[in-house]
Amino acid sequence: MTKFFADIPKIQFEGPDGTNEFAFKHYNPDEIVMGKRMEDHLRFGIAYWHSFAWPGGDPFGGQTFDRPWFGDTMDLARLKADVAFEMFDILGAPYFCFHDADVRPEGATFAESTDNLNAIVDYFAQKMDAGGPKLLWGTANLFSHRRFMSGAATNPDPDVFAYSAATIKTCLDATMKLGGENYVLWGGREGYETLLNTNMGRERQQAGAMLQMVVDYKHKIGFKGAILIEPKPQEPTKHQYDYDVATVYGFLKDFGLEGEVQMNIEQGHAILAGHSFEHELAVARELGIFGSIDMNRNDYQSGWDTDQFPNNIPEAALAYYEVLRAGGFTTGGTNFDAKLRRQSLDPEDLILAHVGGMDVCAAGLKAAAAMVEDGALEEARNTRYAKWDDSQNAEMLKSDLSSIEARVRRDNINPDPRSGRQERLENLVNRYL
Ligand code: XUL
Ligand code: CO
């Protein structure tokens, strides 16, 4: 045991009336919701980068966190892993997620960085074998180091493309070795700052070729997990190519990959794209590319990707309603892509941020399940479209404009507008919260 979380107990479920901060009020892993354990619905994952690698900086100031594992040695990387796995255990988190750069010191060469990564992967494997959590997904950090300042796959310099491809290979190998259930690609700097220096057509082809190689390699090594793309419209580049789910779908279709790649959808990214989280989830469901979620919340005033812990149960309820409508997670899960505020210095802050986030998601899931089980929302939706069940109407979609015109004249069709009942449906949703 390290000393970092020394006085913090393992978090248990104590129910909604309890006052113990260090207890779950809604997250009860074994509780059955719609025939499935709550833990198996939510599949919580802890993000290594925010909790253990982020130093607390912002554009106006640097590090605020003073963690005993900060530094660039393998000994400190192992200490970081020790603390991380202690936190996974305290929270009872079934999964975690990481980038290569979160877990290992950067080496002087590509080979040295890879050796460092592989040594930490072995260290993780021992801890996972000893009853630690599973790996929800692995990924490569192709955006922090200065070599990636003009992109990874989309870089004008083919050497950076090569470095990125080689890095993705090592991270996919690491993910496979640890039994990861997904591999995520977030296009950190795959975008542009100014069109004046950008050959967009070329960059798009490079990104498509990279993704095809990733999918080929996945099949070559027999990786059974899903390849997920995480859309985001802005930050860090002014314009990111993976803007939102619909944009990524167009890209996947273009490169023939829509059956191979699914979406990892993040709440804060959806908001930045001018959508709601549930919109993005619904688009992915309708297109058959729903995979996993990154749970967090943006500050609605700052208009930036603040990656705060979720604390809004009504929002979570609408999100999990869409997750349930998509049939729930298969390989995916709920990754907390959320970080502390930079003044939240204490080890207790790190634990309680996750306790609160897990409770908000659990309460949201329970409300969403009540919406599904009651069925009134779906009944209202179905009623709104019921006239389409009539065979004459259904066949119209395979008809042509002239025959439709003839039918409108013959039957004297004269549409009679009906209420969309939005407020009534909003009132109905509030009943389940
Ligand atoms: C950045 C972001 C990433 C990805 C993984 O906004 O969400 O942390 O989730 O690279
Ligand atoms: Co994310």
Residue 117 domain-assigned (yes or no): yes
**269 among known catalytic residues:** no
Q: What mean pLDDT is predicted for residues 308-329?
A: 98
**pLDDT tens for each residue of 253-298:** 999 999 999 999 999 999 999 999 999 999 999 999 999 999 999 9
Kindly give the distance from the C-alpha atom of residue 398 to the centroid of ligand 1, in angstroms, as a whole number: 43
Q: Are residues 425 and 298 both part of a single domain?
A: no
- Cβ–ligand 1 distance for 359 under 6 Å, the answer no
pLDDT band at 117 (very low <50, low <70, confident <90, very high): very high
Quick: pLDDT tens for 398-422: 999 999 999 999 999 999 999 999 9
Are 322 and 410 in a shared domain? no
Domain with 131 in it: what CATH number?
3.20.20.150
Nearest Cα residue to atom 3 of ligand 1 = 186
Catalytic residue among 26, 41, 100, 102: 102
Tens-digit pLDDT profile for residues 13-23: 999 999 999 99
In a shared domain, residues 368 and 318: yes
Alpha helices in 92-199 (DSSP H): 100-103, 110-129, 158-177
pLDDT of residue 300: 86
Whether residue 302 is predicted with pLDDT greater than 90 in this model: the reply is no
Beta-bridge partners for 32: 37
Asked whether residue 398 falls in the same domain as residue 357, the answer is no
Residue 164 sits in the same domain as residue 117: yes
The number of the ligand 1 atom at minimal distance from the alpha carbon of 143 is 10
What share of the chain has pLDDT > 90, as a percent?
A: 99
Q: Please state, in angstroms and rounded to a whole number, the distance separating the CA atoms of residues 64 and 220.
A: 44
* Ligand 1 closest atom vs CA 305: 6
Pocket flag, ligand 1, residue 294 (CB < 6 Å): yes
Containing structural domain, residue 160: 12-374
Any domain includes 384: no
Please tell me whether residue 77 adopts helix, strand or coil conformation. helix
In this structure, the answer to whether residues 255 and 193 fall within a common structural domain is yes
Under 8 Å CB-to-CB from 193, ≥6 apart: which residues?
237, 238
Do 289 and 402 fall into the same domain?
Answer: no
In ligand 1, the atom with minimum distance to the C-alpha of 235 is 6
Pocket test for ligand 1, best of 96, 98, 136, 139 (most atoms within 8 A of CB): 139
**Is 99 labeled as catalytic in the residue annotation?**
yes
* Ligand 1 atom 4 nearest Cα: 186
Shared domain check, 303 and 157: yes
Bridge partners, residue 192, by sequence: 239
> Considering its fold, how many domains does the chain have in total?
2
Report CA torsion sign: 83, 87, 89, 90: positive
Q: What is the DSSP letter of 196?
A: G
- Are 29 and 60 within one domain? yes
Is 187 within a domain? yes
Residue 1, in any domain of the structure = no
Q: Classify residue 5: in a domain, yes or no.
A: no
262 and 222 housed in the same domain? yes
Helix and strand numbers, DSSP H then E, in the chain: 16, 14
Whether 4 is covered by a domain: the verdict is no
Which residue minimizes the CA distance to atom 10 of ligand 1?
A: 186
Within-domain flag for 292: yes
315 and 414 in a common domain: no
The answer to whether position 295 is within a domain reads: yes
Same structural domain for residues 304 and 340? yes
